[in-house]
Structure 1
Amino acid sequence: MIIDCDTGVDDAQAIMMALSRPDVDVIAITCVNGNVDVEKVCRNTLRVLKVCDAQHIPVFRGCGKPIIHSTEDAQFYHGKDGLGDLRNEIEVDLSCIQEEHAVTALLRLSKKYPGEIQLVALAPLTNVGVALRMDPEFSNRLQSLVIMGGNMHGKGNRSSSIASEFNFGCDPEAAYMTVHEMLCPIVIVSWELCLDHVYPWEKVQECMNADTEKARFLRDITRASMTTQRARQETGYRSCDAQAMAIALEPSITLETLSIHASVELKGDLTRGMLVSDWRKKLNKSPNVTFVTKIDTEKSLTIWMNMVHV
């Protein structure tokens, strides 16, 4: 597995989940601008690896801007540092960041392990889009791509585009290239799926009350996002990247899927970055993405809770 991320609160949880599984070999983490700037993303990724005693995993700095122009970040939710404004500072050595760019690392590793790599993309797809431009055969060498991003029914979560999801909206061009040019199977974990599948508050609190360093770290980084979600009177705790990672880690979590042809809107003032599905098959094109439409939340929760113990 390679994890492409913009390490904020839920990215951190997803990384911890992957590292808790002995059957998964995370061979690289590639960083990209998104929730916060790419330098903070790199720092946060090293923080997570330190807490998980997994500092042997190489971390690569990727694209610091979207392909076309800059958009908003998500500091309002993830904090200025991207990890809920950590109260207990975790010092890391930024010289540990690999000198090789994330995009060239993706290309190199896909050649080294052809047909073996599951790429899990939890962030704006800038690194993936640039990799496709540098080497069109890149996606042929991947086993699969799991994306947390996009939407099925036009529900958005951004201030500048009411109908787009954050990761797709931050770099619509990269998202467009990805859904149209990727040749390996693409699994989409949409914003709406995450809205419909949340973790019970009491179980989340139980997980954070565990007497482990990982649980204390989880409690620290999640404090602000939990407060925000409770203030919105949400029925449970929502962690989008955690749901995407659970789906990538355990296929049996997925209960229902829908394969369809989809594209990304690039021009609309209100819809730029929206993932648009051809529900009526007007384009007469073969499906290029598979939406996960229903999951076993209890199985997902089990993986999420186990991450603080392993």
Structure 2
Amino acid sequence: MAKQKMIIDCDTGVDDAQAIMMALSRPEVDVIAITCVNGNVDIENVCRNTLRVLKVCDALHIPVFRGCTRPIIHHEEDASHYHGLDGMGDLPNPPEVDLSCIQEEHAVNALIRLTKKYEGEIKVVAMAPLTNFGVALRMDPDFSRRLQSLVIMGGNIQGKGNRSASIASEFNFGTDPEAAYVVIHEMACEITIVSWEVCLSATYPWEKAHECFNLHTPKSNFLQAITKTTIEKQKARGEPGYRSCDTTAMAVALDSSIILESVKMFTVVELNGSNTRGMLVADWRNKLCKPPNVTIVEKTDTKKSLTLWRGMVLE
């Protein structure tokens, strides 16, 4: 059976690293490229962190592409307050990597080229601000028609924001609202949204999470080291279990049966509201009478996705 070709677009912080490791652990998946974009931290740290993950997974053969260094219009914003200044929980003694391993080709050009080479075969998992895709659509309007599907970790449909700059938008969409708008309104392929709200409910019991981090394998040791700070932050907030947004999205991309409830809906991205800029607004009552443009995941099977978690750290 042919493997599923996948491109991962990331701003590699802690949960991006986990999601990449999850994808690489699956024998049925062929990660043909990783594209980086400014987001959780600056682009250089994103590229460096991505190489670190690949080194731990013995997968440095996968090409990594440096993408957009800032949002299309919006001012720069990062999440170093959560992921650490380096994006990896301020990891002590991190794996040494060589940034010259980053491909010279820009990530946007790589996305366009690879979709031409493997037309209709590539599933993209987007776990960062959508800048690379917004630019790709402007450079090549037919870009998205060549994709098999797109799974996005981003957006929020209940107004539960997680950014300091806006009370009602999610980080990835709020960091580059224009790119999110272009993607949601112009992508021609199937789009699945794993929103901030569903990630809030997709938590793993603390004892199960700690079991995965304490298997004493090279991969689990790495995960334990990079996740230490975020675990402390989540426990300090009294969260009922461990939450990892990007691995929730990756689990959905790897196994659609993990989706327990979903709804097809027409959505828009708010660009003008002072408190809602970047929010994904769903037309729940079909007031606009427009056909659905996304599938919104409403509930996931955390027991099944926990199996994927455990599988990525056994070696």
- Are positions 1:212 and 2:204 aligned together? no
Task: Measure, in 2, the Cα distance between the counterparts of 1:89 and 1:171.
Answer: 29
- Are positions 1:70 and 2:42 aligned together? no
2:208 to 183, 195, 203: 203
Per the alignment, in what secondary structure is the counterpart of residue 119 of structure 1? strand
- Two-structure CA RMSD over aligned residues (Å): 0.6
Task: Measure, in 2, the Cα distance between the counterparts of 1:258 and 1:9.
Answer: 29
Aligned to 1:6: 11
2:285 to 272, 275, 280: 280
Aligned to 1:168: 173
Matched residue type, 1:250: D
Superposed CA offset, 1:24-50 (max 9, x none): 000000000000001100000000000
Aligned to 1:57: 62
Per the alignment, in what secondary structure is the counterpart of residue 246 of structure 2? helix
Q: How far apart are 1:234 and its partner, in Å?
A: 0.2
- Are positions 1:41 and 2:51 aligned together? no
Per the alignment, in what secondary structure is the counterpart of residue 164 of structure 1? coil
Unpaired stretches in structure 1, ≥5 consecutive residues = none
1:290 to 292, 295, 303: 295
Aligned counterparts, 1:1-310, within 5 A: 1-310=6-315
Q: How far apart are 1:69 and its partner, in Å?
A: 2.6
Per the alignment, in what secondary structure is the counterpart of residue 18 of structure 1? helix
Corresponding residue pairs, total = 310
Matched residue type, 1:139: S
Matched residue type, 1:213: P
Task: Measure, in 2, the Cα distance between the counterparts of 1:15 and 1:227.
Answer: 22
Per the alignment, in what secondary structure is the counterpart of residue 3 of structure 1? strand
Q: How far apart are 1:218 and its partner, in Å?
A: 0.1
Task: Measure, in 1, the Cα distance between the counterparts of 2:80 and 2:299.
Answer: 29
Superposed CA offset, 1:140-164 (max 9, x none): 0000000000011111000011000
Task: Measure, in 2, the Cα distance between the counterparts of 1:27 and 1:154.
Answer: 35
Task: Measure, in 2, the Cα distance between the counterparts of 1:22 and 1:281.
Answer: 41
Q: How far apart are 1:293 and its partner, in Å?
A: 0.7
**Sequence identity, in percent?**
72
Q: How far apart are 1:207 and its partner, in Å?
A: 0.8
Per the alignment, in what secondary structure is the counterpart of residue 211 of structure 1? coil
Q: How far apart are 1:256 and its partner, in Å?
A: 1.2
Task: Measure, in 2, the Cα distance between the counterparts of 1:267 and 1:257.
Answer: 28
**TM-score, normalized by length of structure 2?**
0.98
**TM-score, normalized by length of structure 1?**
0.99
Superposed CA offset, 1:196-216 (max 9, x none): 110110011111111211011
Task: Measure, in 1, the Cα distance between the counterparts of 2:209 and 2:197.
Answer: 21
Matched residue type, 2:79: A
Q: How far apart are 1:306 and its partner, in Å?
A: 1.1
Q: How far apart are 1:89 and its partner, in Å?
A: 1.9
Q: How far apart are 1:71 and its partner, in Å?
A: 3.0
Superposed CA offset, 1:153-186 (max 9, x none): 1110000110000000000000000000000000
Q: How far apart are 1:288 and its partner, in Å?
A: 0.3
Task: Measure, in 2, the Cα distance between the counterparts of 1:309 and 1:64.
Answer: 35
Matched residue type, 1:100: E
Task: Measure, in 2, the Cα distance between the counterparts of 1:72 and 1:112.
Answer: 34
- Runs of 4+ aligned structure 1 residues displaced above 6 Å come to none
Task: Measure, in 2, the Cα distance between the counterparts of 1:13 and 1:105.
Answer: 23
Q: How far apart are 1:280 and its partner, in Å?
A: 1.8
